[in-house]
Amino acid sequence: MTALARAQAGDDEAFRELTEPHRRELQLHCYRMLGSLQDAEDMVQETLLAAWRGLSQFEERASVRTWLYRIATNRCLNALRDTARRPQFAVASFDAPEPTRWAEPLWLQPYPDALLDGLPDAAPGPEARYESREAIALAFVAGLQRLPPRQRAVMVLRDVLGYPAAEAANLLGVSEISVNSALQRARSTLATLAPGRTGRDTASAPRSPRERELTSQFADAFQAADIERLVALLTDDAWLTMPPEPLEYQGRVAITEFYLTRAWWGTRFPRLLPTRANGQPAFGYYLPDDPDTPVARAHGLFVLTMADDKVSAITRFGEGCLPSFGLPGALNG
């Protein structure tokens, strides 16, 4: 008896045998759709529960993987449409210089690289436009979050996973014409978004000696609160963003002004712990309560985007994401 037949007969071990190989890639798929690791985990649980309940109706017209993607995609679309489930933005109030621009609040969290390790080899189909490296990059995922839900789903299915138009239409329960129209609009919109993507083709390879050298220099300058050394590592048009804060700063002058107006800059020196997020170098950062205490408390995590062998974007997140990276809430000594 096949695993499918056993699962349909109520064998939960057989069901896990069918679905477990796809869990990690489903989580990544849901993350791209929702921009949140926690929401992605919730959607995977809902997907597997729905699959278990509907297993008797599965007729093998598609693979188990495609069937799970159909359920996951539609669960994510339902979540995006359900405004009660989406986070209510509580943008922090703090003194800051006038930003380069005000953006709409963006619900976005970083994705730990540790969750990418050992991901099953599921190379995208021939119609995909984005390599796996770019398809998890923070700028790309941030751009996706600016798209309407249906366009977001179509772009992920077509341009990331490589599903043909007919199959993507079937997954979404819409016409091919609708899929192609949504994809055209999504591509056009995404081309105008995602700060920090310029120059990505000339960026140092992930984990390369040059990337390690640059991130080490950045960490040294940041921990020393040396603004001149820090901004010298940035591209001329670098961005500093802080989702879900609507303030965005572009260029060395604006970023310099932002850091120099932080009350702790130059008085309470930060400490950094390296990690990786979205295929990019990242740091958890910690600040002491006062200059004389050895205890430094978590204040957030920032992710660096590289271009032209410099830093083209700094994206700062709150300390709530640190546990997902295995980083502590405080450092002693």
Give yes or no for a contact between 3 and 14, defined as CB atoms under 8 angstroms apart: yes
pLDDT tens per residue, range 218-228: 999 999 999 99
Q: How far apart are CA 38 and CA 79, in angstroms?
A: 13
Angle, CA of 193, 280 and 25, to the nearest 5°: 85
- If you classify domain 95-146+193-333 with CATH, what class do you get? alpha beta
Low-confidence ranges of the chain (pLDDT < 50): 195-201
19: amino acid identity, one letter: T
pTM comes to 0.92
- 41: tokens are 């985990």
Give yes or no for a contact between 144 and 32, defined as CB atoms under 8 angstroms apart: yes
Measure Cα distances from 277 to 65, 111, 113, 136 in Å.
26, 5, 5, 9
Q: Where are the domains of the chain?
A: 1-86, 95-146+193-333
**Cα 11 to chain center, whole Å?**
35
Neighbours of 243 (CB within 10 A): 22
Give yes or no for a contact between 306 and 214, defined as CB atoms under 8 angstroms apart: yes
In this predicted structure, what is the pLDDT of residue 195?
Answer: 47
pLDDT tens per residue, range 160-206: 999 999 999 999 999 999 999 999 999 999 988 754 444 444 566 77
Q: Which residues touch 143 (CB under 8 Å, ≥6 apart)?
A: 190, 193, 194
1-86: CATH, from 3.40.50.620, 1.10.1740.10, 3.40.50.300, 1.10.472.50: 1.10.1740.10
199: amino acid identity, one letter: G
Q: How far apart are CA 148 and CA 76, in angstroms?
A: 12
Closest CA to 113 of 301, 282, 271: 282
Residue with tokens 């702790």: 264
* H or E element, residue 99: none
Contacts 24+ apart (CB under 8 A), 93-96: 95/261, 96/247, 96/258, 96/261
Residue with tokens 């992605």: 40
In this predicted structure, what is the pLDDT of residue 198?
Answer: 41
| End-to-end Cα separation, the chain, in angstroms | 60
